[in-house]
Amino acid sequence: MHNSIIVVEDNDTMRLGIEESLRREGYEVFAFDNGPDALESFKQNSSMLAIVDLKMEPMDGNEVLSKIKRLSPVTEVLMISAFGSVETAVNSMQKGASDFLTKPFSPNELRVRVKNLVQKIEREQKIENLIEHNRLLNEELQTGFGEIIGESEAIKEIFTLINQVSTMDSTVLIQGESGTGKELVARAIHNKSNRADKPFIKVNCGALNDNLLESELFGHEKGAFTGAIRQKKGRFELANKGTLFLDEIGDVSAAMQVKLLRVLQENEFERVGGEITIKTDVRIISSTNKDLPKLIAQENFRDDLYYRLSVIPIQLPALRERKDDIPLLVHHFLRNLAAKMRLSPKTIGDEEMKLLQEYSWPGNIRELENLIERLVVICPNEIIEFDLIARHLTGKSTISNGVENLSLDDAMYAFEKKLIQQAMKKTNGVKNRAAKLLGIKTSALYYKLEKFGMI
């Protein structure tokens, strides 16, 4: 299938011209003058790309297109016709065609369209390879890591730690910047532990004041305070035999720290307003984005509670410390969003991916995920473009952002080159259309393409 193209064209001159032009580019070409013969061959040896004429007998191009897509959904199809119109092209696209080319066309225009489709195929194959590679990697690491994606050395160390600590009941303190995936690590530890069939209960300690947090953690008796119209079990009771995840533990007040310390030391507590002591058997995993030793030095956090919580400390790396994982994360988010929104997956090219890898990501994985979702929603094209990503990363266009420290001549050179690259991309490399978009003559565009080394 790799590097092979099937051509279905009933005009002998046109078919031979297409075949010769593509063979000169190094493609393996299988050419047919009718649909049934082409499909019979395709069943035996499918191709990565099909070029199909619209008007043919005894089977028209749209029927050939539909049958090809049923046999091989991943095969890209370029429809060609002398009867091109917007309506005709849209109809073919709706049936699964990737592109539409109106006759007559030059050999160069054909080669450009084919090259664009081949590059799309290669990008999608690269994505599939990355996904498969990550799947195999996770299998090697015994899986069970949920949504934690990565293959960098930094994340492999986290996988190893998860495997090591999950079989114990020791308390775990997960530290890291906001958005690094602390809750995912906590869930992975629980899911791989012998408590996996018991509850995993989360409490966001930073989101509640003392009174609400105490009631949330320990529960309350009916009438314990205004509004307590019935007895309520707290999270320590609900998590019994399971895992209690105390998120943002660094935000807990001094008074609540004392109460938490008692539960950790004695494994017992009373509900708010209650007198009965309740025994509990929970594993505590806590997390924070704060520097707890610094808080201890400032007398804002108890050192005895810290030592109780951090029997096993896990420090999560920031995304900027594991940039090799960014392509895997991006493709994971793109795939999940496509399924969620019921859309065809959008793609990001190598240059665009490099831009994402060079960014500092102060918001870490959460920021990356939010950006990818925003780009998927607002990008009208299948391929997410460089300048769109740059604008949403920095609030500036790439052009202005990339020339701030250049001389005027260098800045103008970079500006002009970027505009031409964008125009060529938007017109799929068709030079007369790109020239029209730029407002210059085609001959002037050829000169500039040669000047910038783009031909």
Nearest-angstrom CA–CA distance, 200 and 235: 10
Q: What is the pLDDT of residues 248-265, one digit of tens each?
A: 999 999 999 999 999 999
**What is the predicted pLDDT for the residue at 416?**
73
**What is the predicted pLDDT for the residue at 49?**
92
Bridge partners, residue 272, by sequence: 220
Nearest-angstrom CA–CA distance, 403 and 400: 6
Nearest-angstrom CA–CA distance, 126 and 244: 40
Q: How confident is the model at residue 294 (pLDDT cuts 50, 70, 90)?
A: very high
- What is residue 346's DSSP assignment? P
- Among 251, 256, 247, 265, which Cα is nearest to 200's? 247
Residue owning tokens 């399924």: 339
Tell me the pairing of strands 200-204 and 172-175. unpaired
Average pLDDT over all residues of the chain? 85
* DSSP letter for each residue of 91-125: HHHHTT-SEEEESS--HHHHHHHHHHHHHHHHHHH
**What's the burial of 9, exposed, middle or buried (CB within 10 Å: 0-12/13-18/19+)?**
buried
Q: How confident is the model at residue 298 (pLDDT cuts 50, 70, 90)?
A: very high
Peptide bond into 73 cis (omega under 30): no
* DSSP letter for each residue of 422-441: HHHHHTTT-HHHHHHHHTS-
Q: How confident is the model at residue 400 (pLDDT cuts 50, 70, 90)?
A: very low
Query: Domains of the chain (ranges plus CATH)?
Result: 4-130 (3.40.50.2300), 150-317 (3.40.50.300), 319-402 (1.10.8.60), 403-455 (1.10.10.60)
* DSSP letter for each residue of 199-219: -EEEEEGGGS-HHHHHHHHHE
- Among 260, 279, 285, 265, which Cα is nearest to 192's? 285
Q: Over 90: is that where the pLDDT of 223 sits?
A: no
Q: Are 134 and 160 in contact (CB under 8 A)?
A: no
Nearest-angstrom CA–CA distance, 23 and 180: 50
Bridge partners, residue 28, by sequence: 4
CA angle 279, 217, 206 (to 5 degrees): 145
Average pLDDT over residues 216-221: 90
Q: Other C-beta atoms within 10 Å of 55: how many?
A: 13
Q: How confident is the model at residue 388 (pLDDT cuts 50, 70, 90)?
A: confident
Q: What is the pLDDT of residues 318-350, one digit of tens each?
A: 999 999 999 999 988 998 888 887 777 788 888
**What percent of the chain lies above the pLDDT cut of 90?**
42
Nearest-angstrom CA–CA distance, 264 and 308: 7
Q: How confident is the model at residue 412 (pLDDT cuts 50, 70, 90)?
A: low
Average pLDDT over residues 195-204: 93
Task: Find the range with the poorest average confidence among 75-89, 166-180, 203-217, 241-255.
Answer: 75-89
Task: Find the range with the poorest average confidence among 75-79, 292-296, 383-387.
Answer: 383-387
Q: What is the pLDDT of residues 67-96, one digit of tens each?
A: 998 888 888 999 998 876 777 777 888 888
Q: Are 425 and 385 in contact (CB under 8 A)?
A: yes
Q: What is the pLDDT of residues 105-149, one digit of tens each?
A: 888 989 998 988 888 888 777 766 666 555 544 444 444 566 788
Q: Please indicate whether residue 109 or residue 452 has the higher confidence score (pLDDT).
A: 109
Task: Copy the structure tokens of residue 320.
Answer: 């900027």
Nearest-angstrom CA–CA distance, 138 and 161: 14
Residue owning tokens 């054909």: 110
Nearest-angstrom CA–CA distance, 184 and 364: 14
Q: How confident is the model at residue 406 (pLDDT cuts 50, 70, 90)?
A: very low
Q: How confident is the model at residue 396 (pLDDT cuts 50, 70, 90)?
A: very low
Q: How far is CA 118 from the centre of its chain?
A: 22
Task: Copy the structure tokens of residue 110.
Answer: 């054909």
Start-to-end CA span in the chain (Å): 29
Average pLDDT over residues 142-163: 82
Q: How many Cα atoms are found within 13 Å in the side-chain-facing hemisphere of 139?
A: 6
